Amino acid sequence: MTLLSSTVPTEGRRVGWIDRRLKAAETGAGTRRWYGGLLVGVTAIALWWLVALVTRAPSMLLPTPLKVAQAFWESVTSHGSRDGLLGSYLWVHLWNSFRRVLEGLGLGVLVGIPLGLALGLVRAVDWAFGPILEFIRALPPLGYYPLLILWFGIGDTSKIWLLFLASFAPIAVATAAGVAGVRNERVNAVLVLGAGRFEMVRLVVLPSVAGDIMTGIRLSSSFAWTTIVAAETVNGLPGLGGLAWASQKELRADIAILSIIVIGLVAVASDGLLRALERRVAPWKGRA
Amino acid sequence: MTQPVADLVLDQVGHTYRTAGAPPVEALAPTSLTISAGEFVALVGHSGCGKSTLLEIVAGLRPPTTGRVLLGGAEIVGPGRRRGVVFQQSSSLLPWRTVAGNVALGPEIQKVPAAERAALVARELERVGLAEFADRKVYELSGGMQQRTQIARALAADPDVLLLDEPFSALDTFTRELLQEELRRIWKETGKTVLFVTHSVEEATLLATRVVLFSPRPGRVISDERIDFTRRDVSLKELRADPAVVAFAAALREAIGDLTADVAPGVTKHRHRLRGRP
């Protein structure tokens, strides 16, 4: 407000939220700054440390951040005959969880995309498999995990089956929704140029749904990640979920907290990566 | 450019929209028209008079509920490359392709060899004045340039008939006048048969060799006049000021106005409902 305006009454009002949105649209930049999160994170760690010191809680229940940092050091170093934590380095735990997700999700993608295209394009497929797919998608994967263990044992096979079943349905449903959202005028545009049905799919449907498929993969990926951590409580070593689970047997809360931090960081990183890929696949979304 | 030889024959073509839970709406009464190769026919009428429906039927995008359409003696049963379409919405352009990529669609579908295709695309982009925008994304272009891209895309497939559904209705006056001039030049250059839907009597008068006037719903032909203002060797700017053009457009407007003059919307609706009854 300027000095002059003090003599003039004001008219109308500004709403900061929409102003920021308009500004962001203009500059093309997000308005969130990284240091907000850093500030809150540091404050949280300080509070945690304070509580641990003040209450003098036993380290096996509430370790200090320093203990967790030591656990991290322990996880990446060798101690005579034993490597890292519970016999494996941290990156081995991480890689094992990651590999299981990659294999299960990969199979989910391979089956989910063609199935979703068929659901969206062929009425009979939607009629037959649409309802079943909604059913499978609604199930919590850990509900049918025991059955998979009975069938495929407690090794990797049952875990990969679990992730496959958890991921293919959301991908198929997202793909089918994308097909339903393909704009008629774009389909018509290639039909009047002489395209047949396969060319229509290649020229219009596939490029149109690429973004929706990426959205489905992103959803499935976070779903698969939370599922694998829980599934690794059964014979999941080496693996991050197994590591977190074993910590309670060894009375090591520091390992549990370390596992949580690593699991969270991996989830955020992989989501960011897939989000970037999503934008790259459909840069025209929201602009045309 | 190949010379089109195919006449377009509309034989008792009509369309009634049927939606569940609502009375059927007859958009287009059975209509017969014969359009000779090389004509520029403007279909003029109010919104909802079935002129766009008629264009979709000729494009093969909507089957008629009565009658049939013949192109060069062959019955139209679906969309095909002999009838090019310039859609009203520029969202029919594929946003994941560049301007040149969109224009190349027709030749690609026809499996034209790459070198020949590139030459074809370059020629059509040149024709619509977009040569230097070949590599731009379509959503970066202005509305006028997007419609130019659509015209180039339709021409690159070398259709016999060019169908345009109010292609300039979303453009500002200056851009619209520019594109009218361009379309007129393109029609003269290529000799294509043009079927042009518009609600602007002036646009129809300036561009067409034949103006077909439709009544409000259900649309039926109420006048079918041949004119030749567009063939005169003067610019559209001069043509707009020509007393004969002004008089013809005024007469058209009067003919259209007569149909709905001082009828309130509610009454019009009522009248339509009465007409819709068989």
ipTM for the predicted complex comes to 0.86
Residue A117 to residues A144, A167, B56, B104, Cα–Cα distance (Å)? 26, 16, 27, 26
d(CA B231, CA A2): 64
- Among B61, B94, B106, the residue with its CB nearest the CB of A204 is B94
d(CA A276, CA A265): 17
Mean pLDDT of the residues in chain A: 89
d(CA A136, CA A113): 16
Mean pLDDT of B22-26: 87
pTM for the structure as a whole: 0.82
Angstroms from A202 CA to nearest CA on chain B: 11
Element (H, E) at B43: strand B40-44
| Cross-strand bridge partners of residue B36 | none
- Strand intervals (E) in B95-239: 161-165, 193-198, 210-214, 221-226
Half-sphere exposure of A79 (CA within 13 A, CB side): 12
Q: Are strands B221-226 and B74-75 parallel, antiparallel or unpaired?
A: unpaired
Q: Which of A4-13, A127-136, B191-200 has the lowest mean pLDDT?
A: A4-13
- Chain A residues with CB-CB distance to B139 below 8 A: 284, 287-288
- Chain B residues with CB-CB distance to A194 below 8 A: 80-81, 106, 109-110, 157
- At A22 the pLDDT is 87
Q: What is the dihedral of CA B77, B83, B88, B89, to 10 degrees?
A: 80
Q: Are strands B193-198 and B161-165 parallel, antiparallel or unpaired?
A: parallel
The pair of structure tokens assigned to B113 is 């060899």
pLDDT band at B180, cuts 50/70/90? very high
Model pLDDT for residues A150-201, shown as the tens digit of each residue: 999 888 999 999 999 999 999 999 999 999 999 999 999 999 999 999 999 9
Please name which of B194, B153, B180, B250 lies closest in space to residue B35, comparing C-alpha atoms: B194
> Would you say residue B236 has pLDDT above 50?
yes
- Among A194, A207, A288, the residue with its CB nearest the CB of B109 is A194
- Among B81, B106, B139, the residue with its CB nearest the CB of A288 is B139
The pair of structure tokens assigned to A130 is 């649409």
Q: In angstroms, what is the C-alpha Rg of chain A?
A: 25
Mutation for A interface: B109, B112, B142, most A CBs within 10 A? B109
- At A45 the pLDDT is 92
Half-sphere exposure of A176 (CA within 13 A, CB side): 24
Model pLDDT for residues A73-85, shown as the tens digit of each residue: 988 888 877 888 8
- Chain A residues with CB-CB distance to B105 below 8 A: 189-190, 193, 203
Note whether A28 contacts B: Cβ–Cβ < 8 A. Answer: no
- At B276 the pLDDT is 37
d(CA B220, CA B227): 20
Model pLDDT for residues B75-110, shown as the tens digit of each residue: 999 999 999 999 998 899 999 999 999 999 999 999
> Would you say residue A112 has pLDDT above 90?
yes
Mean pLDDT of B11-32: 89
CATH entry 1.20.950 includes domain B1-82+204-278 = no
Report the 10 Å Cβ neighbour count for B150: 26
Q: Where are the domains of chain B?
A: 1-82+204-278
